[in-house]
Amino acid sequence: MTTVFPVVMPTAGSGNDLSGKEKIIFLRNAAREALKFSAKKSGVKFRGVKKDKKGVPLPFDGNFWSVSHKPKCVAAVIDREKIGIDIEEIIPRPAALFSYLATKAEWDLFKKKDREAFFRYWTAKEAVLKSVGKGIGEFKKCLVVSILNDNHLSLEYGDHLFRIEQINYQNHIISVVKNHNRIEWIIPHS
């Protein structure tokens, strides 16, 4: 069993005066710093990262990586296997998005259909789709099949079963593809 080190870093207070493209560049750079931290913790020499024409992260030296950013937090992870991570702030969402995100059978797995459940599903599906190089247009093909507990669930995509580990940090849900790995969350204090 391999240990994977997803890194979650708050950005609140930093870059608050930025807007538009400057803010996106700031958050992208913050996510890359989190990725460097994950690489260091994993014993991987960070050599920079590239994406293909579709924006799919390209592995380097046999290492796969994934990043995600929101205005208040960023997340990143590196692993020897395909990996995906996603972060979302728990905020109100239109009711129509619930049916876009998941089927009735998927929603029946949760005790209540609330914002936290919505973002647990959203980030889990996004993490899986990132790990296989697909976009959110595939949400309907990525199915939640079991809720294991408050921090773990399983999804099917294609013919594969994916195990997801999640945390709630500063009103954000962060999901990472766990599969058979041990997860050690890293949250450095700034």
Give the CATH number, domain containing residue 118. Answer: 3.90.470.20
Average pLDDT, the chain: 92
Radius of gyration from C-alpha coordinates of the chain: 16
Considering the entire predicted model, what is its pTM?
Answer: 0.94
Two structure tokens written together for 1: 């069993």
pLDDT tens per residue across span 56-103: 899 999 999 999 999 999 999 999 999 999 999 999 999 889 999 999
Range of the domain at 30: 3-183
CA distance 96 to 99: 6
Q: Cβ distance 74 to 67 under 8 Å?
A: yes
The answer as to whether 189 is a domain residue is no
The answer as to whether 54 is a domain residue is yes
Distances (CA, A) of 170 to 11, 25, 117, 122, 173: 11, 22, 16, 17, 9
The answer as to whether 111 is a domain residue is yes
pLDDT of residue 14: 65
State mean pLDDT over 40-47: 92
pLDDT at 39 over 70: yes
Q: Is 120 helix (H, G, I), strand (E, B) or coil?
A: helix
Q: Cβ distance 152 to 166 under 8 Å?
A: yes
Two structure tokens written together for 145: 């099949």
The answer as to whether 177 is a domain residue is yes
Q: Taking the CA atoms of 40, 188, 13 and 115 in sequence, report the sign of the dihedral they define.
A: positive
State mean pLDDT over 35-63: 91
The answer as to whether 190 is a domain residue is no
The count of structural domains within the chain is: 1
Q: Cβ distance 79 to 41 under 8 Å?
A: no
For the chain, percent of residues with pLDDT exceeding 90 = 77
The answer as to whether 128 is a domain residue is yes
pLDDT of residue 15: 63
The answer as to whether 188 is a domain residue is no
pLDDT tens per residue across span 98-133: 999 999 999 999 888 899 999 999 999 999 999 999
